[in-house]
Amino acid sequence: MKMNRIITGIIAAVFILAGLIYWFFKDNSYISFDEDNKTYTVEKKWELPSTLEEISGISILGNNKVACITDEEGILYIFDLKTFKISSRITFGERGDYEALTVTKENAYVAQSDGTIFKIANFRNKSPQVDTFEISGIDINEMESLEVDVKNNRLLFAVKEYNNRQETKGVYSFNLLTEKLNPERYFTLDGGDEIYKKLKGGNSSQIIRPSAIRLHPKTGELYILEANQPKLIILDRYGEEVKIHLLDPETFPQPEGLAFDEENRLYISNERRLQPANILRVKLK
């Protein structure tokens, strides 16, 4: 009986603590996400096989095919949106921390968290050629985003964390012709800007840790996905934040991938977190 009372007391204490944490943070975090005023709808959902449970980057290939990578495997997976199955696999590297993916018609580019970029030339062929580029000149601790700017023959990426912690985060460009980085920031993400102060999340809403970026194919706006406090930040051509869409953490528990299809429709992928990994087609209001 004494043991039962102790166990009951521990359980009660856990519930009380959870309640206190909730009431303390409910007005200062995204726990109080407002379902009635959300600024998007989920149009379609694809649950992914267990092989892709750690999906960390996606790119739309057309014809209902999506290129995917996972955190730890140097494999480019092609997922079929019609059959809900992996249709092919392309090995490009050993095990590592692969965090971002972007493609052109011929080439795929994959980024490791340390800033190493893999170029998989002619990735649709049976024997693609793999080259690597090392980004140097920036104090990168963690990088999870990569986008190809075909018109300007360059890659864009945002730093998630620097070795020496900084209040702002930079978006940088890497020239594909010279294979050199421009150390000057292309854009700066500053959580102290007025648009972030209006978010319901206290100081936590001003911390920006990009998990993916994409250029909108039609408008040229830069879409930045943030996974820790799930949100989608939209920057205009001049790098000014014009809109922030808060994402429901229940629907987007770990959003890591971002892509547009040939009809300019938006897709966001989530790693497995208390639910199967998935890809969602999202329509913004």
Domain of 58, CATH number, reads 2.120.10.30
Q: Is there a single domain that holds both residue 19 and residue 149? A: no
Q: Which domain holds residue 17?
A: 1-32
**pLDDT by residue (tens digit) across 170-205?**
999 999 999 999 999 999 999 889 888 877 665 666
Same domain for 13 and 142? Answer: no
Q: Residue 20 above 60 pLDDT?
A: no
Tell whether 122 and 262 lie within a shared domain. Answer: yes
pLDDT tens digit sequence for 116-169:
999 999 999 888 999 999 988 899 999 999 999 999 999 999 999 999 888 899
H/E stretch holding 125: none
pLDDT at 27: 43
Determine how many CB atoms are found less than 10 A away from the CB of residue 12: 10
168 forms bridges with which residues in the sheet? 190
Q: Are residues 96 and 131 in the same domain?
A: yes
CA-to-CA distance for 101 and 58, rounded, in angstroms?
Answer: 6
